[in-house]
Chains A and B, each alone.
Chain A
Amino acid sequence: MIGRAWRVVVGFLASMRTAVGLLLFIGVWSMVATVVTQGADSSSSVIAWDATNPSFSPVVRWLGLHQAFTAPVFWAAALLLAMCTSACAWRRAKVARFRARALTAAAAADPLSPIQAPDLGIVCDPALSGQRALEIASGALERLGIRMRRRGDMLTAVSPAWSAWGSAVFHWALVALIAAVLVGQLVRSEGMMPVAVGQTLADVSASYALSNSGPWHYGGVATRSIRLDSFDPDYKTGGIDRGAVPTISVLDGAGEAVVTQRIYPNHMLHTGSLAINAPACGLSATLSFQDKAGAESGRVIRLVDFSQTATEGTSPIGLLSRRDSAGRILMKMSVTVPLDRAGQGFGEWIPKRPSARLHVTSADGGLLFDGIVRKGESVDLPEGGAVRLVDIGWFSWLSLVDDPTIPVIYAVMVVALVGLSVTTLARQQLVLVTATEGSEGVRLDVALRLWRNVPTSRGEVERELRRALGSDGKGSVS
């Protein structure tokens, strides 16, 4: 019973109809996904798409097409395709083993012995000798694109045994690739870390503004930290403007720089499985809090993103909360930096007269203070004490990806392409020709297997040989 069920399952997975059906499904699903707006159901772009397509919206939402490539339906199809590919790879391996054995045996065939069970037997023109028949056959096959070698009394054109393994290797590599991608999703960690110039942040989840870690991620190297050493808002090299370019150091547990590098497009920082990119930047405001006696009680760095739609050109990243010793919120503060005007918009640089707008509210949202503080100036806080704007500088949004499966994925891709190259380029052919002289004249025996990448066909070979050897209309066995 179990054995029968197993055979049914394996038969289904190994079925070409299943494989083609799944390829078709994934292809059509992907096509639809490029037409449907992708994103969370609550995102504004998705809501807008639903509003403009009310008739499709219920189906699209039910199928999960707004997150098409993380939808359970898609993953189920991809997983099933991986299982199908495994079954196909298994079959390809069996075929490859069979062909490789046949090729090896043909390559070692005794040139003096007649071919056992020939695929073609052609009775030649009686005027021809055995040697002449072989010469003519060699020429005819060469015209069809099969170059024959003479080995004793035998003509041979036998591909090397490895040529049979291309397809199997390709399919197994695809299985490994799918597996590596799946494992990658489980162990991978990626996130966006905002770091101001001079700031050093530990590579822990609290340092990230956004992060996404797979369940098997090892949690990061707790002792590793990232430092933004310097920032060039207009870096040029090789005659190309690279844009705003930060110089980043990755520090080990002892605070020693493991690697220091400028980061710009196509010049990411790599160390171990960690890759750091710097896709965006903004401004930072360093604030110094002073107690009632005027002594500095602490410093904070607040970050702002450039925003051409915001009133003064920047929008705050998060709110700063001040709490009392009991943990109650005393006030909330948001910080923006008014930018210089540039044409119709704002100049995305540090303003000529650096300042920050402080917007302070109480815990229940009542406005306590809203005003601009220039660099070096202080304002009194409602709770007592004061806050001083120390400096306006730069910060970088760093994109950190920690994925140890990348080298494996690269390696598997290379293996897959090598396998596919062998499948595409290497011939899989087995041609052996012998001539036997008997009472009826010369008979040409041909072992013929044209499996892959041969520029002719069995029918064409037979016709051409019969024509060349003058046996048209005469009996031939095949």
Chain B
Amino acid sequence: MTLEIVFMWVALTFYVVATGMFVFGVALNREVLTRRAVLVSALGLVPQIVALGVRWARLGHGPYIGYYEVANALTLCTVAFFVIAAWRNPRLHATGIGIMPVAVLLLGGSMLASKADFPITASLASYWLFIHVAFANVAFAAFAASFGFAVVFVIRQRSTSGKWAKRLERMPEQEVVEGLIARLVLAGFLLWGIMIATGAIWANESWGRYWSWDPIETWSLIVWLIYAIYLHLRFMRHWKGERLAWFAIIAMPIALFCLVGIPTVFNTIHAGYIGGAEG
């Protein structure tokens, strides 16, 4: 086992512990646990960044190729996004109960996947790769955060006067959480849109077509349309409450499927980035 993999297991351990602390912290109504869980999540970022940095230096490219690297980068962005949000607004600590399990599943899945080294191929050798993938990662982080906030919203909504409402009473009011979910979706929608636009420009530079209805292009558009529907329902139809939160909960796995599932299910010209084959 290389040092890089050891660091990655350490990071995963931190995230698992943080997830447990969030669950127990909320369930036992111990704020100190949730506060420290944010710290443990932040500490987990350190070995993960080191491991990815070592790999980057060794391979000469960032975490863009192969399921292991892609899922790792998505996890890193998701946890970093959450830690920054929780650090800026301590009332949001408890949302880790919805976000950290996503990070654990993603990183755990990547640790079980092949960790083979994939070199940059001619079709991927472009500065657009970094830009395109960076926006995909940050967009997913925003969607994952909206998912976590929505989970907490639904838990509280279903127990307005019950135990869970009391356990989550330090959170901002439901109305504010609802607004935050919408803002996160809007941020993710913007970042996902930039990801699509940069991908279109890159495709035109690389293949001479800015759009070719490749499965991953089509699904990225589908994800964008799904979140566009969310935003229209929220801002134009003034939908509120649990049903809109469920919308955010259901939409995030579709975005995840688009990023890591499509290349393994469909025959796509993007297969290169997830499987290491020529893309």
Contacts and interface: CB of A to CB of B under 8 A. Distances in A.
Interface stretch (B8-16, B44-52, B64-72, B176-184): B176-184
Given A241-B122, A420-B189, A413 B200 contact: yes
Contact of A20 (B176, B219, B229): B229
A400 B223 CA distance: 31
Contacts of A38: 213
B193 A457 contact: no
A34 B266 CA distance: 8
A420 B190 contact: yes
Contacts, number: 114
B266 to A, nearest CB: 6
A23 B187 contact: no
B45 to A, nearest CB: 25
Contacts of A459: 173, 175
Interface in A243-290: 243, 264-266, 268, 275-277, 279
Interface string A407-451: 001100110110011011000000000000000000000000000
Interface stretch (A25-33, A97-105, A154-162): A25-33
B197 A417 contact: yes
Contacts of B200: 413
Interface string B204-225: 1111111001010011011001
A421 B187 CA distance: 8
Contacts of A410: 201
B94 interface: no
B175 A457 contact: yes
Given A27-B225, A265-B123, A417 B206 contact: no
Contact of B208 (A30, A34, A268): A268
Interface residues of B, number: 46
B241 to A, nearest CB: 14
B237 interface: yes
Contacts of B197: 413-414, 417
A202 interface: no
A20 B122 CA distance: 41
A271 B203 CA distance: 17
B230 to A, nearest CB: 10
A4 to B, nearest CB: 25
A164 interface: no
Contacts of B218: 30, 33-34
Given A23-B229, A190-B208, A424-B186, A238 B173 contact: no
A24 B126 CA distance: 34
A314 interface: no
Interface residues of A, number: 48
Given A23-B232, A266-B123, A277 B207 contact: yes
A264 B122 contact: yes
B226 to A, nearest CB: 6
A240 interface: yes
Nearest to B183: A453
A9 interface: no
A382 to B, nearest CB: 44
Contacts of A243: 122
B195 to A, nearest CB: 11
Contact of A455 (B180, B206, B215, B226): B180
B233 interface: yes
A238 B119 CA distance: 13
A242 interface: yes
Given A268-B206, A417-B190, A457-B173, 6 more contacts: A27-B222, A31-B219, A266-B123, A277-B206, A423-B186, A460-B175
Which 7 A-B pairs have CB atoms at the shortest separation, nearest pair first? A266-B126, A401-B208, A27-B225, A265-B123, A265-B122, A424-B190, A34-B215
Interface of A: 16, 19-20, 23-24, 26-27, 30-31, 33-34, 38, 68-69, 190, 238, 240-243, 264-266, 268, 275-277, 279, 399, 401, 406, 409-410, 413-414, 416-417, 420-421, 423-424, 453-457, 459-460
